[in-house]
Chains A and B, each alone.
Chain A
């Protein structure tokens, strides 16, 4: 969900950018492990939520830029829904009486 949201907010990004973005946006709280990042990206490629296009970084290095597909956007909506429901439920339980 975080990766999808990141890509929905921004244009295409490569793996490092995604990890950094999440880290910065969450003020250093959420650190995406590289060990989960790349398999997760591949899994999403397989499910056709993402497409990867080769491009150049600012320093002119080859990198794969990921962007969302229509399918990926739908998935993001589904996941946000589910997250909203779960977090509301948790919030309801945690509410001070």
Chain B
């Protein structure tokens, strides 16, 4: 490889040069000796030998060129010169490098997040073949089904639901799948090992681990016969569980642990680092995996959507063709079971995309925004470089006049730009690292794998490539400028102290670009801000302050049925109500924002129309504790018992949507079972159970005392206090343990905290975009200020003449501001067009705000115009204060 030899030789070139010199000297000496032997005088022989040999230095140069050193040497020379000239202008170097570091740093940080979350494959073997499976209700208005379980993914339409286990058998027949498993979170109480704790668990079908492709590190996976009702209870535990709760005991296999009070035998321990798809990148980790063991009852009801599907495609099968064959299966199911399956279709998507979903939208948007910042930084640096090049015009003209070619000049300017880019890249990677720590620290929970964001070769590669590209972009303008220079003209104009027209045109264009780019970012930030404030303005319909909610999940083994659980909570309510500072207590199956339960019902015995409102089982204190006002009739009371007439309270949406605004009081409900009908006794205000982004659904509140026959578990407890609710947590826990010392109290949060967490992601992306827009505007201000300041200092002579001829300072001010105004107006006009084109990609991130929201545009334009004019005012005032005598003397 001549190339490699050339390259290697380059680094030994000094040694090679010395060697050559020695070789040639020897040659001359030997020749001289020969001549002497033939009879010449020693001195003459030496001369003759040297004469005959010729110019050794020229040969050296030739040889240097043969090895290709010349090119490198020139590059090194340019590099050294570049570094030296930059060192001589430390302020200029610092500003350009900092500007670049800011732009590249933001990019590096965002890209490393994108890399961690979206580009790196999931931590399972052959992750591209893993798909997530769900069922989609193609007529979401028809709510003739019940669903529970939290969907694990984010893709799909509003009709997305979990999968009915009964349908899984049919989907397994799909020939595109190598295997289809199902999973669902199933937290359990762990007892018999110190303080009772509630730990994250998952109930999975027996083939779950083989579909993921991860066998247990110790022991075995589940057997098909263990995944049936009534089978021996077995559990597979995570590596973390084994290490932390069992102390890494070598005999952990076959040990028995108590989950929800029931003994489970450990049959497998998972490898270290394994995490279930549901919990990837979350703080919480799944510690135990139980068999799903679907009941025969569940497997008979195709309308009961409960679990998340996870499939592995056969090698070489595409998602699209798998989807086609699934759609065919769904269609045949719809024909076979019209009542339950008519409106449902199984859908799949790549597991990674499904897990990332909306997060990837916002990350792409942020990446786009940070790309704009790099562009702005580039424009700024290009601007600075051009001003500098203008300052060095004299230097380059002299060099050209002395015979320097254009190419070496351009090459030298480009090398200088690349030096700046390289320094900016290094500083940017450093800044990116810092920013990334900040980013992951303030990132809301629920972004899969953001915690693993780090610098890897891909991040470095992107940063370096970006730096190179930016270096070329911002280096091009001044280099091109220099190459256009005509030494005669340049020397003449340099003497006059003004710069060429084309220079000014370039800088004007760059400034306009800068203004328009920052306007795009400002509009984007404005849209997100509008969206966020709209969201914050949404009324929840209940009072969240000074309410604390917690989860008290009573295990079935000790609390076999509804009445047993109800009794526990009755006792707890009485005890807690007596605590000082407590204003109200409530028990429910779920408090708002914490999930719920829905069920099909018929109104007034009309079996032709089934509705599916949300159901809540609550104690009478619920409405007062959450501050939900009564609108008509009465609330639930302690007098409603399992002996008296079953009663319910409904919300306004129920009256509006299901009863067409008739007064609900007195109407009856039943679930199509022989149980006594429920009479509606009151109407309460609508609340947004699912948070600010959720829809208001018809609600039925049942009295917890009357729900023994319903498949509902009381599990949430809430307290309203007159003091800081956090101060009551210990006292409440003590009351719980006074009743049952083995009962864990978990998920303790104030309502305000819960709501805060729910909007955390939006707040995060809004905040980031506002920061980005701020950076962009700051860079734009620097740009405008720089360009105008330079232009004023170039025109100082002209301005001096105007003043001398009697122009008042106001006229000078107006003159400069007019120039600035043109720039700003052009930039804003282009920015509006750009924003219109680019912000449409933000639509998915916006809540009830259109991307064409005029307020966001108006706000952005006004803000940018004001700061830009302020930035222009400083140089304009300097121009207006020009002293004609001083100015003219400079000429």
Which A residues fall within an 8 A CB radius of B? 14-16, 19-20, 33-35, 38-39, 42-43, 46-48, 57, 61-64
Contacts and interface: CB of A to CB of B under 8 A. Distances in A.
B54 A39 contact: no
B24 A34 contact: yes
A74 to B, nearest CB: 16
A62 B6 CA distance: 25
A59 to B, nearest CB: 9
Interface string B60-102: 0011001100000000000000000000000000000000000
Interface in B30-80: 30-31, 34, 52-55, 58-59, 62-63, 66-67
B694 interface: no
B509 to A, nearest CB: 47
Given A16-B31, A46-B66, 6 more contacts: A16-B27, A35-B53, A38-B23, A46-B6, A48-B2, A57-B26
A7 to B, nearest CB: 16
Contact of B63 (A15, A42, A47): A42
Contacts, number: 55
Nearest to A39: B62
Contact of A46 (B5, B19, B26): B5
Interface string B1-18: 010011001000000000
A61 to B, nearest CB: 6
Contact of B54 (A34, A47, A61): A34
A35 B54 contact: yes
Q: List the 4 shortest-distance A-B pairs measured between CB atoms, nearest first.
A: A16-B30, A42-B63, A34-B53, A16-B27
A33 B2 CA distance: 26
Nearest to B30: A16
Nearest to A42: B63
Nearest to B19: A64
B54 A42 contact: no
Contacts of A46: 2, 5-6, 9, 66-67
Contact of A15 (B6, B27, B34, B66): B27
Contacts of A16: 26-27, 30-31
B2 A47 contact: yes
B66 A43 contact: yes
A15 B54 contact: no
A62 B24 CA distance: 12
B22 interface: yes
B22 A62 contact: yes
Interface centre among B55, B63, B67 (most CB of A within 10 A): B63
B6 A38 contact: no
Contact of B26 (A14, A20, A39, A43): A14
B58 to A, nearest CB: 7
B26 A61 contact: yes
A35 B27 contact: no
Given A38-B59, A46-B2, A33 B54 contact: yes
A61 B66 CA distance: 27
B67 A38 contact: no
B7 to A, nearest CB: 11
A43 B62 CA distance: 10
5 contacts: A16-B31, A35-B55, A46-B5, A48-B5, A64-B23
A39 B23 contact: no
B485 interface: no
A15 B23 CA distance: 7
A42 B67 CA distance: 8
B20 interface: yes
Given A39-B66, A42-B66, A43-B66, A34 B2 contact: no
A44 to B, nearest CB: 10
A3 B794 CA distance: 66
A62 B67 CA distance: 23
Contact of A63 (B6, B26, B67): B26
B27 A34 contact: yes
A14 B23 contact: yes
A72 B22 CA distance: 25
Which secondary structure dominates where chain A touches chain B?
Answer: helix
A14 B30 CA distance: 11
Contacts of B59: 34-35, 38-39
A16 B30 CA distance: 7
A35 B24 CA distance: 10
A43 B66 CA distance: 6
Contacts of A20: 34
A20 B37 CA distance: 15
A39 B20 CA distance: 10
B607 to A, nearest CB: 94
Nearest to A43: B66
Nearest to A35: B54
A61 B25 CA distance: 11
Nearest to B25: A61
A58 to B, nearest CB: 11
Nearest to A57: B26
Contacts of A15: 23-24, 26-27
A85 B67 CA distance: 32
A48 B8 CA distance: 14
Contacts of B31: 16
Interface centre among B19, B27, B31 (most CB of A within 10 A): B27
Contacts of B24: 15, 34, 38
Given A38-B59, A46-B66, A63 B23 contact: yes
B58 A35 contact: yes
A4 to B, nearest CB: 17
A42 B31 CA distance: 21
Nearest to A64: B23
Contacts of A57: 26
A15 B27 CA distance: 7
A13 to B, nearest CB: 12
A14 B53 CA distance: 16
A52 to B, nearest CB: 8
B63 A39 contact: yes
A56 B501 CA distance: 68
A40 to B, nearest CB: 9
A34 B2 CA distance: 24
A42 B2 CA distance: 12
Contacts of A48: 2, 5
A16 B22 CA distance: 12
A61 B34 CA distance: 16
A46 B68 CA distance: 10
A14 B22 CA distance: 12
B301 to A, nearest CB: 80
Contacts of B66: 39, 42-43, 46
Contacts of B2: 46-48
A51 to B, nearest CB: 11
B831 to A, nearest CB: 56
A38 B63 contact: yes
Interface in B545-593: none
A34 B20 CA distance: 12
Contacts of A42: 20, 63, 66-67
A34 B55 CA distance: 10
Nearest to B5: A46
A24 to B, nearest CB: 11
B179 to A, nearest CB: 57
B630 to A, nearest CB: 96
Nearest to B67: A46
Contacts of A47: 2
B317 to A, nearest CB: 52
A24 B856 CA distance: 93
Nearest to A37: B27
Given A46-B66, A48-B5, A38 B20 contact: yes
A90 to B, nearest CB: 30
Contacts of B6: 46
B26 A34 contact: no
B302 to A, nearest CB: 76
Given A14-B23, A47-B2, A64-B19, A34 B52 contact: yes
A35 B50 CA distance: 12
Interface centre among B2, B34, B66 (most CB of A within 10 A): B66
A19 B22 CA distance: 17
